[in-house]
Every structure is written in C-alpha cells, then in structure tokens.
C-alpha cells in the first residue's frame, strides 16, 4: 500500500454521535493528515489509533495520533458540530485544519 492509497477520511455509517481522531501517516518521506471516525460507544480514541496502526503495519506506513474529539452529525440539516478532546490523545493541534478535512469529506455540510 502506498501513502496515497490511504483514504483521507473514513466513517462508520449509520451513527449520529461519533468520535474522531486526527492521524499523521508517513512512509518515512511523505506525510499525510487523516481523519478517522467511529461510533462513540465502547471504544476509546487511542483504541481507534491502535486499530489503524495495525492496519498500516504490513504496508510499512506509520501512524501518529495528533488528537481526538467528538462530533454530532445532523444529516437532515447537513450540520456537523465538533467539540471536546480525547483524554488519551488530547486535542488536535489545529482545529481549523480538522474542520477543512471534515468539510472535504462532507461537501454541502456546515461544519463547526
């Protein structure tokens, strides 16, 4: 797997209250920021990172967790509200960059 093959954003379908992590993935030369989402039940932000690290291990790519947060998604009014931070990973260093990544994944949604 090449670093460019890793999706910038992935989401578990069918949930409205979600956890996010911001991850920097590198092949030792190039870096890419990624967002991962998961339903808020029964998983910690750091567990999301560990699962991603395991998925990338065989490809030689490395992942570094930069922070985590929560979001409420309201599909009917096309709105995403991002808030809070991860106890295990802390808050991502640049919330505005996070919002830009989420907006690219959800065109037409208001993200704040």
pLDDT of res. 34 = 86
Q: Token digits for 17?
A: 């209250």
Mean pLDDT (the chain) is 86
% of the chain surpassing 70 pLDDT = 89
- The three-state (H, E, C) secondary structure of 54-72, written as one string: HHHHCCCCEEEEEEEEEEE
Helices (H) and strands (E) in the chain, counts: 2, 6
Determine the pLDDT at residue 15.
Answer: 47
Which tokens is 76 given?
């009917």
User: Which domain CATH number covers 90?
Assistant: 3.50.20.20
Question: How many structural domains are present in the chain?
Answer: 1
Average pLDDT over residues 42-57: 88
Residue with tokens 């690290």: 53
**Higher-pLDDT residue of 20, 38:** 20
Q: Is 3 helix (H, G, I), strand (E, B) or coil?
A: helix
- Give the residues across from 72 on adjacent strands: 17, 81
Structural domain including 83 reads: 3-111
pLDDT tens sequence across 56-80: 988 999 999 999 999 888 877 888 9
- What lies within 8 Å, CB to CB, of 32 at 6+ separation is 3, 4, 6, 8, 24, 25, 26
70: tokens are 């929560």
- pLDDT score, position 72: 87
Residue 23 above 70 pLDDT? yes
């Amino acid at each position: 797997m090449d670093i460019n093959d890793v999706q910038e954003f992935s989401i578990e379908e069918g949930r409205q209250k979600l956890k996010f992590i911001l991850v920097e993935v590198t092949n030792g030369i190039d870096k890419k920021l990624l967002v991962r989402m998961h339903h808020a039940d029964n998983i910690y932000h750091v567990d999301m990172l560990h699962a991603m690290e395991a998925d990338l291990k065989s490809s030689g790519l490395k992942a570094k967790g930069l922070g985590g947060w929560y979001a409420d998604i309201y599909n009917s009014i096309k709105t995403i509200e991002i808030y809070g931070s991860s106890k295990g990973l802390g808050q991502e260093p640049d919330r505005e960059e996070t919002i830009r990544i989420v907006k690219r994944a959800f065109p037409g949604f208001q993200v704040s």
